[in-house]
Amino acid sequence: MMGLDVHDMENLGEQYVGYAEGMTKSRQFGFKSLRLARALEPGFVFTVEPGIYFIPELMDKWRAEHLFEDFICYDKLDAWRDFTGLRNELNYVITPTGARLLGSIKKPMTIEEVYEAKNEM
C-alpha cells in the first residue's frame, strides 16, 4: 500500500485502495484527509505522516468565512504565519502480532523530545 495510496491515487480513486468496501471518506474537518480506512493485514506497509501546515492564504480565507471556528483559535494563529509547517513520517509493516516500525532513526515524538532535539541543534 505504500506509494499506491499515499499520494498517487488521489485523482485515480483512492477509495479503491485505501477504503474497505462500504466505507466512504469523511467530510469532517481533521478527518477528510485520511487516506486509509480498512482493516490492516500482515504484510501491509504504510506511512503514518501526521503534519501541520500554516498556509497564510488559507488561514485568511477560512477566517473571513468563519470556517472551522470550533477547531481553530484564529486569534492565536497569526503567530504561526511564517512557520510553514511540519510533517513527521514513520513507516510501519503489519506483522501477525502487531506492527513494526521500519528504520532505525529515533525521531522526537513528545513535546519534551522535540525541545531536547531543538536544543541539540
Percentage of residues in the chain having pLDDT higher than 70: 83
Instruction: With cut-offs at 50, 70 and 90, classify the pLDDT of residue 11.
Output: low
**Would you say residue 6 lies in a domain?**
no
CA 73 distance to own-chain centroid: 20
Give the N- to C-terminal CA distance of the chain in Å, as an integer.
Answer: 35
Query: Residue 94, Cβ neighbours under 10 Å: how many?
Result: 17
Structural domain harbouring 34: 15-120
Phi, psi of 18 (to 5 degrees): -90, -5
Q: What span, in angstroms and rounded, lies between the C-alpha atoms of 16 and 39?
A: 14
Identify the CATH number of the domain in which residue 72 sits. 3.90.230.10
**Would you say residue 102 lies in a domain?**
yes
Phi/psi-derived region of residue 21, left when phi > 0, alpha when psi is between -120 and 50, beta in every other case: beta
What is the tally of structural domains in the chain?
1
Q: What span, in angstroms and rounded, lies between the C-alpha atoms of 27 and 30?
A: 9
Q: How many C-alpha atoms does 92 have within 13 Å on its Cβ side?
A: 13
The answer to whether the CB of 42 falls within 8 A of the CB of 96 is yes
**Would you say residue 3 lies in a domain?**
no
48-102 tens-digit pLDDT: 877 888 999 999 999 999 999 998 999 999 888 888 887 778 888 999 999 999 9
**Would you say residue 5 lies in a domain?**
no
pLDDT, average across residues 15-42: 77
Across the chain, what does the average pLDDT equal? 81
**Would you say residue 8 lies in a domain?**
no
**Would you say residue 20 lies in a domain?**
yes
